Amino acid sequence: MEVHIAAAALTFVKCGSPPPPPPPPPVESSTKPIPSSDSTIKRLPEGLQVCVVGAGSWGTTIAKIVGSNVMNSKTFDNEVKLWVFEEIVDGRKLSDIINEEHENKKYLPGYKLMPNVVAIPDLMKAVDNADILVFILPPEFIQKICSEIVGHLKPGAFGISLIKRPTAEDIVPAGSSSSGCTNKTHGKIFKELFETLNFRITVVEDNEAVELCGALKNIVALGAGFTDGLGHGDNTKAAVIRLGLMEMIKFSKIFCKRPVHLRTFLESSGIADLITTCYGGRSRKVAEAFAQTGKSIEELEKEILKGQKLQGLPTVKELYKILKKKNMDEEFPLFVCIYQICCEGKSVNDFICCLQTHPGHEDLTKD
């Protein structure tokens, strides 16, 4: 998990590339009144109010954790707002389903939310009076969302970004996440907000590297998927992970403004999350099918993910633009080869040649 101050996201609104095409027009907001928390729940109006912005599988997972944690804390308000991009599911509005059945039946079926988690399809109403904004959106939408809420936030509000792709199983087994945060006070708040017995949080100050790990791991996972689709074993995938981690570290050292610490890559946000994503993530799954079927990644995204977003492809496209602009594409052969396979028609079989000739295999004892 990556955590950083919302100002970074708001800066992106001003400095980023032109916003992507907006998503399909939202379904008309529900005419039903937004339910408040369960009547048996005692409200703590002086506590920090939390709004989770995004209700996909990861957003709903976090809403489930946060909804439970705030009930046992004097730090937070007991109600958790969940902004939902309205959709029709089996003839009903998704926000109504969540509020009436306390379950996101489209993106996290089978897992009940606490009744204090309130789904709100109106973005302005969702962020109104929020002290903490938890952004859990596909990266291509964050710029648009931040542009809309600028000027509508409570003074002193701060935000965190949890751009990660979990499976529903992440709710149950023990997990670990790393929170990158330069503000120690906020770091303590984040830890209290998210940590459970099965979901431990480590706060580190190397926030830029933590954020990059969360993005670059999805590129490496595409490569891991290629090897799976080509029928290679775990040793080949281990080579992908090792070489991919080397390029992640190199990229972070070059492009992070603050010094990068190697220990950050030994945190859960580094090698642990990289391994997990290379064995079970969406990017790996789609890349495997790509190598097996020859269908386009965009086509497979629709077939396999059924409305969820693949992050490896847009990430590698943006990364390649950066490398070409800096004339550094030859320094990252693994990343570039993955881009060429996904976007330029390079044969997926050439990926094995890339692994075989990668400079990361050179004898480190040589001068």
What mean pLDDT is predicted for residues 123-146?
91
Is 332 annotated as belonging to a binding site?
A: no
Dihedral sign of CA atoms 339, 345, 349, 354 in order: negative
pTM of structure: 0.65
- Residue 290: what pLDDT? 96
Residue 236 binned pLDDT confidence (cut-offs 50, 70, 90): very high
pLDDT above 50 for 136 = yes
CB atoms within 10 A of CB 197: 6
Is 141 annotated as belonging to a binding site?
A: yes
User: 110: alpha, beta or left, given left = phi > 0 and alpha = psi -120 to 50?
Assistant: left
- Residue 43: what pLDDT? 43
**Of 4-8, 278-282, 346-350, highest mean pLDDT:** 346-350
Q: What percent of the chain has pLDDT over 70?
A: 81
Which of 305, 307, 273, 276 shows the shortest CA–CA distance to 290? 305
CATH of domain 207-361: 1.10.1040.10
Q: What percent of the chain has pLDDT over 90?
A: 59
Is 57 annotated as belonging to a binding site?
A: yes
d(CA 106, CA 125): 23
What mean pLDDT is predicted for residues 215-234?
96
Q: Which two tokens stand for residue 230?
A: 């080509």
Q: Report which residue type is found at 309.
A: K
Residue 13 binned pLDDT confidence (cut-offs 50, 70, 90): very low
What mean pLDDT is predicted for residues 239-250?
96
Residue 133 binned pLDDT confidence (cut-offs 50, 70, 90): very high
Q: What strands, in cross-sheet order, belong to the sheet with 117-120?
A: 117-120, 76-83, 48-53, 132-135, 158-161
pLDDT averaged over every residue in the chain: 82
CATH of domain 48-194: 3.40.50.720
Is 58 annotated as belonging to a binding site?
A: yes
Is 54 annotated as belonging to a binding site?
A: yes
> Using the 8-state DSSP alphabet, how is residue 166 labeled?
-
Q: Which regions of the chain carry the CATH code 3.40.50.720? A: 48-194
Give the model confidence (pLDDT) of 30-70 as tens digits: 434 444 444 444 444 579 999 999 999 989 999 999 999 99
If one compares 226 and 72, the residue with the highest pLDDT of the two is 226
Give the model confidence (pLDDT) of 258-310 as tens digits: 888 888 898 888 999 999 999 998 999 999 999 999 899 889 998 998 777 78
What mean pLDDT is predicted for residues 319-343?
95
- Residue 27: what pLDDT? 40
Q: Which regions of the chain carry the CATH code 1.10.1040.10? A: 207-361
Is 309 annotated as belonging to a binding site?
A: yes
Is 270 annotated as belonging to a binding site?
A: no
Q: Is 81 one of the annotated active-site residues of the chain? A: no
If one compares 323 and 46, the residue with the highest pLDDT of the two is 323
Give the model confidence (pLDDT) of 169-221 as tens digits: 222 223 474 455 567 788 889 889 998 888 887 777 777 888 888 889 999 99
> β-strands 48-53, 132-135: how paired?
parallel
- Choice among 49-58, 137-146, 217-226 with the minimum mean pLDDT: 137-146
pLDDT above 90 for 72 = no
If one compares 256 and 67, the residue with the highest pLDDT of the two is 67
If one compares 209 and 100, the residue with the highest pLDDT of the two is 100
Catalytic residue among 81, 93, 164, 217: 217
- Residue 203: what pLDDT? 77
